[in-house]
């Protein structure tokens, strides 16, 4: 038996950075997926081994089941009650990861491998298993790749353990029931904690449920968009330090409290208006075009305010200038100072123009994806092994 689960990445439509200072933000799923394939070895396989393959990175890890059980067996609790990995357990996991001799150039992956070991031990309970991960999401670019990794792995492990009840005879991708999504989201969040320390929970929630989320001061509300959205996502391939950028905005707010308070209040208004706009109905192409124009204005204003916060970058400005030549509106998404940029693709936009924009951006060394926004969350499928 093989179980596959896939989970989408996420974008921030409005409100990044300002949300740290009490403003509203809006996040949405993006139909670029991470897929986890989990297979129980055939009965003829003699080795009791846990294998993890990161196929896009050409990396493979393996541990004897007995070694994992000896190290982590005393820490796992009931599957129905997701729990954080204790500090002592993190030390034990670290020794298991060190055992793999991860290449120095890819040592940042160690936290993801650690998250896998905790999720595997807690959910599947020390049985031999082969896990393979593939992803359409670029790593470390602000599209929620780590959350999609944790959601996809958690979903596949929960399905294989029987904790998620989906029809194994049904073909194609299936979604979980509401209470099962709650359980899945909680386990994925525990994986995110291992990777990031103190995540907000936004990324894994968007990846689990899909669609869109409005959030403010720790409160998350799922919203249903009535507006079909397609974006050009441009990965500038410029790395950045999210913690340093967040700290920089906070320091600017200390130096200029009144001005920055006005900036944060303006972002809050933009996010609220944007969420109302997305939920309103468009009855024909004309009204959809008007909504797209309004959305473009809100994105443009939000980008201007992000520039006021000091988190733009030469690469981002290049994308903005390039897409502006074609009459398109763009904004950064996530931490800024590199990462990814969103460009709204109107419903009636010519495909020829899109091709020209992509060609020009790629000539600058950027990577481009066309992606639907606000689609499905985590999905599962079952496959019989031949």
Query: What amino acid positions are annotated as catalytic residues?
Result: 203
CA dist 89 and 114 (Å) reads 10
CA dist 10 and 33 (Å) reads 10
Query: CB-side exposure of 187: number of CA atoms within 13 Å?
Result: 33
Residue 177 DSSP label:
P
Residue 41 DSSP label:
P
146, 112 contact by CB (below 8 A): yes
46, 194 contact by CB (below 8 A): no
What sign does the CA torsion over 41, 46, 50, 56 have? negative
CB within 8 Å of 106: residues ≥ 6 apart: 57, 59
What three-state secondary structure class fits 245?
helix
CA-atom Rg of the chain in angstroms? 22
Query: CB-side exposure of 132: number of CA atoms within 13 Å?
Result: 11
Residue 210 DSSP label:
B
Give the strand pairing for 25-39 and 379-383: unpaired
Residue 377 DSSP label:
-
CA dist 189 and 220 (Å) reads 14
Q: Which residues pair with 135 in a beta bridge?
A: 34
Phi and psi at residue 78, to the nearest 5°: -70, 145
E-strand ranges in 40-183 read 49-54, 59-64, 129-135
């Amino acid at each position: 038996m093989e179980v596959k689960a896939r989970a989408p990445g996420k974008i921030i439509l409005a409100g990044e950075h300002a949300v740290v200072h009490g403003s509203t933000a809006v996040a949405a799923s993006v139909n670029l997926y991470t897929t986890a394939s989990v297979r129980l070895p055939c009965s003829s396989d003699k080795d009791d081994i846990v294998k993890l393959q990161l196929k896009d990175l050409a990396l493979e890890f393996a541990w004897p089941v007995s070694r994992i059980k000896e190290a982590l067996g005393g820490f796992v609790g009931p599957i129905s009650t997701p729990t954080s990995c204790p500090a002592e357990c993190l030390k034990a996991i670290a020794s298991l990861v060190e055992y793999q001799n991860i290449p120095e150039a890819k040592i940042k992956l160690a936290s993801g491998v650690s998250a896998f070991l905790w999720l595997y031990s807690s959910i599947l309970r020390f049985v031999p298993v082969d896990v393979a991960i593939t992803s359409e999401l670029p790593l470390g670019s602000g599209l929620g790749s780590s959350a999609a990794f944790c959601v996809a792995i958690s979903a596949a492990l929960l399905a294989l353990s029987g904790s998620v009840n989906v029809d194994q005879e049904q073909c194609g991708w299936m979604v979980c029931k509401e209470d099962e999504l709650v359980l899945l989201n909680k386990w994925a969040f525990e994986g995110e904690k291992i990777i990031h320390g103190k995540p907000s929970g936004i990324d894994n929630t968007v990846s689990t449920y899909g669609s869109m989320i409005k959030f403010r001061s720790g409160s998350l509300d799922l919203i249903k968009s009535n507006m079909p959205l397609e974006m050009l996502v441009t990965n500038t391939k410029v790395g950045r330090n999210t913690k340093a950028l967040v700290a920089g905005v906070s320091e600017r707010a200390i130096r200029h409290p009144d001005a920055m308070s006005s900036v944060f209040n303006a972002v809050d208004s933009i996010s609220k208006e944007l969420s109302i706009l997305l939920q309103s109905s468009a009855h024909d192409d004309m009204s959809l075009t008007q909504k797209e124009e309004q959305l473009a204005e809100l994105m443009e204003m939000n980008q201007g305010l992000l520039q006021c916060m000091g988190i733009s970058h030469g690469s981002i400005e290049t994308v903005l200038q390039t897409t502006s030549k074609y009459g398109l509106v763009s904004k950064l998404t996530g931490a800024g100072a590199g990462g990814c940029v969103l460009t709204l693709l109107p419903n009636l936009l010519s495909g020829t123009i899109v091709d020209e924009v992509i060609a020009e951006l790629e000539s600058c060394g950027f990577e481009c994806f066309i992606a639907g926004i606000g689609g499905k969350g985590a999905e599962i499928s079952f496959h019989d092994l031949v």
